[in-house]
Structure 1
Amino acid sequence: MTQESDPRTTWALDREIVLTRVIDAPLERVFRAWSDPEQIVQWFSPEGFENETLEIDIRPGGRWRFIYVSPDGVRYENRMVFLRIDAPRLIEIDHGSDIDDDPQRFRVTVTFDAQSNGKTVVTLRQLHPTAAQRAAGIGFGAVEIGFTTLDKLARHLA
């Protein structure tokens, strides 16, 4: 698939999920919580889930392979490939199942914006390959689950 035909590189509102949260911590601390392998594993998972890391290398071209373990023991294999890191403002990732060339993987762009009061606005944009996949994610609870993950980030930095 060429970049021109890759739906993760062309924006469309009907394929995007956007989550935003104000975190009561300065920009550099919030960015480090996302980019430091020792920190991200402490908070990045939905509420009630555990996170088992198989491999983590947070840098452009690096990847994080991990398993979400739900409260009832169901295991969800994940892989993030870090595409771009522009410290302390942006991280861009492809996120999907822990398989090569997962057709369901989606692009995640996380931006970090400092406020004058010392807080940071975190905006997480998921761009899905199809409108149907976005709709299925929303139906599954992706918005609510995403907000619980951002809640865990806020608690981690409190």
Structure 2
Amino acid sequence: MTDQNTNTVSAWASWPLDRELVLARVVDADRETAFQAWTDPTQIVQWFGPDGFRIESHEANICEGGVWRFDMVAPDGTRFSNRMDFLRVQTPSLIEVDHGQDIEDDPDRFRLLVTFDEQDNGKTVVTLRQMHPTPERRAIVIGFGAVEFGTQTLGKLADHVAGKSNLAVAKG
């Protein structure tokens, strides 16, 4: 982890834990492959979101200062507008965004930090840290299933990158 990443994590450490939600998953891919799945607009729409949901992207400029506007479409057709404003993108280790509805001044918008940490075996630990505006908002998102939905999303990422690792290609 670079000093810059260490500073990011330590800054997050000062935020109140009663507003934070953390999920992690080991994926069978090198860090660059996992990171690319998050930053390539053609890949992220293939796996992002809970099981059964699909993504309709309206704008995808996934880079520092960029925006990803999309609808998450539930199996019953219900549409959920989303917007991610990319604050930092540090290839291949970190993505930081503000995530909320595709409206201005969304009061429920939360900060999302995605980190990619290599393991010695060539796999990558992908960690999602959400920092919600209030403890009450955190309780609401946990109540509607954010932990389960986030776990499903990470599972879809793991399935998407499995076998696509740059390390596997190099060894093959």
Partners of 2:21 and 2:106 in 1: CA distance: 19
Paired AA for residue 23 in structure 1: V
Cα displacement string for residues 75-104 of structure 1 (whole angstroms, at most 9, x for unaligned residues): 100000000011111000000000012111
Listed as ranges, the matches of 1:2-81 within 5 Å are: 11-81=15-85
In the alignment, does 2:137 pair up with 1:150? no
Are the counterparts in 1 of residues 45 and 54 from structure 2 also a CA contact under 8 Å?
A: no
Structure 2 gaps, min length 5 = 1-11, 163-172
Give the length in aligned residue pairs.
Answer: 151
Q: Deviations over 1:32-63 (max 9, x none)?
A: 00111111111111110011001110111110
Runs of 4+ displaced beyond 4 Å: none
Root-mean-square deviation (CA, aligned residues, Å) is: 1.3
1:94 aligns with 2:119: no
State how far apart, in whole Å, the 2-side matches of 1:124 and 1:33 are. 14
TM-score (norm 1): 0.93
Higher radius of gyration, 1 or 2: 2
Q: CA deviation at 1:12?
A: 1.0
TM-score by length of 2: 0.85
Q: What does residue 3 of structure 1 align with?
A: none
The letter for the 1-side match of 2:27 is: I
Instruction: Find the counterpart in structure 2 of residue 137 from structure 1.
Output: 141
Q: Secondary structure at 1:124's aligned position in 2?
A: strand
